[in-house]
Amino acid sequence: MTQVSPSLLSADFANLGRDVEMLNESRASMIHIDVMDGVFVPNISFGFPVLKSIQPLARKPLDVHLMIVDPGRFVNQVRDIGAEIMNVHYEACTHLHRTVQQIKAAGMKAAVTLNPATPVCLLEDIVTEVDMVLLMSVNPGFGGQKFISGTLDKVRRLRDLIARSGSAATIEVDGGVNLETGRQLVEAGADILVAGNYVFGAADQKAAIAGLADL
Ligand code: DX5
Ligand code: ZN
């Protein structure tokens, strides 16, 4: 059984309420929410006013992925939209340890995200402090990109680091996930799969989620 966190980035933004309701009724474990600032990544998605409208409709935990510079500025806003998990990029935080403590003090689970070129070994001194590590398997900013296959070895190295350090962190992977790459990721040791295009591009979206959840 694998946890699935469908990415709302690939939803129909003119029908967000309908798509959130589909996720409520599906086997998704969480709802993945991609916030972009046009600086950390070359794209802009949606911000807090939109998330405030979604939150009362969602009956699954919100897994908020911030692709923004200095995300520690927004801990309170992310808490106020009812997020269960706040994901911040390693590359976007000058004082990552402080930001992780602030997220936990605000009552959320803290997750650190790594871009494809950022090695797992850089997590050595923070992995025992975090609830989840999110490995990007595409360069962040857009849905529908091709899975970077080197992520599979990265998942294995992260699994090893977590075991060696006694960390309780779970492993989430984001980008280019479909049934085939999802299966490979689960075999490598991933706990949670994010999927945008694969879910929202499917004729039967709930069946696509169920297929990943069965991996
Ligand atoms: C990319 C986002 C992803 C994206 C994944 O920057 O972080 O969450 O929605 O989309 P797919 O699954 O289509 O690669
Ligand atoms: Zn994401």
Helix and strand numbers (H, E) in the chain are 8, 8
Measured between alpha carbons, how far is 175 from 198 in angstroms, rounded to an integer?
10
116 C-beta closer than 6 A to ligand 1 = no
Would you say the CB of residue 34 lies under 6 angstroms from ligand 1? yes
13, two tokens: 């933004």
Residue 141 main-chain phi, psi, to 5 deg: 140, -25
The β-bridge partners of 33 are 64
For 126-138, write each residue's pLDDT tens digit. Answer: 999 999 999 999 9
* Average pLDDT, 10 consecutive residues per value, the chain (215 residues): 97 97 98 98 97 96 98 98 98 98 98 98 98 99 98 98 98 98 98 98 98 98
Ligand at shortest distance from the CA of 63: 2
Q: State residue 41's pLDDT score.
A: 98
Report the residue among 40, 89, 142, 205 best suited for mutation to probe ligand 1: largest number of ligand atoms under 8 A from its CB. 142
pTM of the complete model: 0.98
Pocket test for ligand 1, best of 4, 9, 135 (most atoms within 8 A of CB): 9
What is the pairing mode between strands 3-6 and 109-114?
unpaired
The rounded percent of the chain whose pLDDT value lies above 70 is 100
CB-CB contact of 194 with 32 (8 Å): yes
pLDDT tens digits, residue range 196-208? 999 999 999 999 9
